[in-house]
Amino acid sequence: MSKRDYYEVLGVSKGAEEREIKKAYKRMAMKYHPDRNKTDADAGDKFKEATEAYEILTDPQKRAAYDQFGHEGVNGQQGGHGFGGGDFGDIFGDVFGDIFGGGQRRQQRAARGSDLRYNMELTLEEAVRGVTKEIKVPTLVGCEPCDGSGAKKGSKAETCSTCHGQGQVQMRQGFFAVQQPCPQCRGKGKIITDPCNKCHGDGRYQKTKTLSVKIPAGVDTGDRIRLSGEGEAGESGAPAGDLYVQMHVRDHEIFMRDGSNLYCEVPIGFTAAALGGEVEVPTLDGRVKLKIPAETQTGRNFRLKGKGVRSARNGQMGDLVCKAYIETPVNLTDEQKSLLRQLEDSCGGVDADKHQPKTEGFLKGVKRFFDDLTR
C-alpha cells in the first residue's frame, strides 16, 4: 500500500516551520497513542505514520531529500523500530519536553530566590515631597556558616547514587521514555550527608531584615520600587530574588490627587460670591490668596498653576484646581432673615431673570418639558 504524503499526514503545508511541525505531531501523538486508544485498532498505525512523518520532516537532510524525490528519497533511512530512526523516547522528549521535563539528562539548576512584595502606606505629603523609611521584611537569607551550600563546614555534598549526579531518572512505560526529577536528591544531583547546624542542609534560614528605602518625590498609588537582590536567597548559593516596594497613598482630608494635579473644594461666603472678594486656600506649600470675581457660582473652577505635584516620571509640575462651593448662611437672626427677604423682593419681579438667570432658565426648561408631554 502506498504511503501518504508526510505533510498531509501531519496536516501542515510544505513550507511549515519546525515548530509548526512539532506542534502538529504533538496533537496527533496525543490523539492516536496506543496507550490512549486501546480499543481502536487503527490508532497504532496512525500513530506510527505520524511519528515517521515527524522524524523525516524535522531532519533537514531527510526533508530536503523527501521534498525532491518523495518517499523514494528517504526509503531505508528510517530505523528498525517502526517509529522512524532512533528511540521513540528521544522524539517524545523533544516534542513533549514542556510537559514531562525534557528529553535530556541534566542536573537541575539551583533555583533563583523568589521575589517579594512589601506594601508601603504613605501620606500625601510624604508621597509629594519624598521620604526615607525603614521597613522590616521577613525573608530567607543565605546561610553564612556554610556559604549557602547546606553542608557543614569542612564537608561537602556527595554525588547522588540513584541518578549518578544527573538530577533526573528515566521511567519507561511501554513506548514511553519519560525523564523525571530524581526522587532521592530532588533533581539536584547531590546529597548532603552532614548538614549545616544553622540551616539544617537548606543553605538558607528565616530572618527579618531591616532595610532603609528612599521614596522619591512624586510617587503615587500603584508605583513600585525594585530593590535588587533583597528578596529571598536562592537555593544552594543561587542569586537572591528582588524586593518590590508597592506604594499606596492614603486619602487626604482636603486634597484629592489625579496624576500631577490636586483638587480641593473651597467654601465661599454668600456675600463674597455675589460681590467678589478674596479667600484663603490651602496648598502643600502653605496658604495663598484666591481672588473671587463677583457673581461667582457653585462649581466654578479656579486653577493655581504650579501648585500641584511634581511628577516622579517626567518632572513636570501639576496644578491645584479649586472648586467653588457657595455656602448658604445658617443660624440667621430675625433681622438677618428680614434683610434677605428684602433682597429677594428687590431681585424679583420683572427683572428676576436678570438677577437669577439659571433659575429662570431652569423654570423655562421645565415648562417646555411638560408642554411636550401634553402634545
Handedness of CA 224, 227, 229, 231 (dihedral sign): negative
> Which segments of 63-183 are extended strands (E)?
116-122, 131-142, 158-159, 168-173, 176-181
What Cα–Cα distance (Å) separates residue 304 from each residue in 124, 129, 301?
Answer: 18, 19, 10
Label residue 50 left, alpha or beta by phi (over 0 means left) and psi (-120 to 50 means alpha).
alpha
CA distance 208 to 116: 13
Q: Grid coordinates 521514555 are at which residue?
A: 177
Q: What is the Cα gyration radius of the chain?
A: 39
The verdict on whether residue 322 carries a ligand-binding annotation is no
The verdict on whether residue 196 carries a ligand-binding annotation is yes
On whether the CB atoms of residues 324 and 290 are closer than 8 A, the answer is no
On whether the CB atoms of residues 188 and 203 are closer than 8 A, the answer is no
The verdict on whether residue 146 carries a ligand-binding annotation is yes
Q: Which helix (H) or strand (E) holds 357?
A: helix 357-373
The verdict on whether residue 347 carries a ligand-binding annotation is no
Please, which residues bridge with residue 256 across strands? 263
Nearest to 240 by CA among 195, 265, 203: 203
DSSP at 217: T
Helices (H), 164-288: 270-275
On whether the CB atoms of residues 322 and 301 are closer than 8 A, the answer is yes
| Known binding positions for Zn(2+) | 143, 146, 160, 163, 182, 185, 196, 199
| Known binding positions | 143, 146, 160, 163, 182, 185, 196, 199
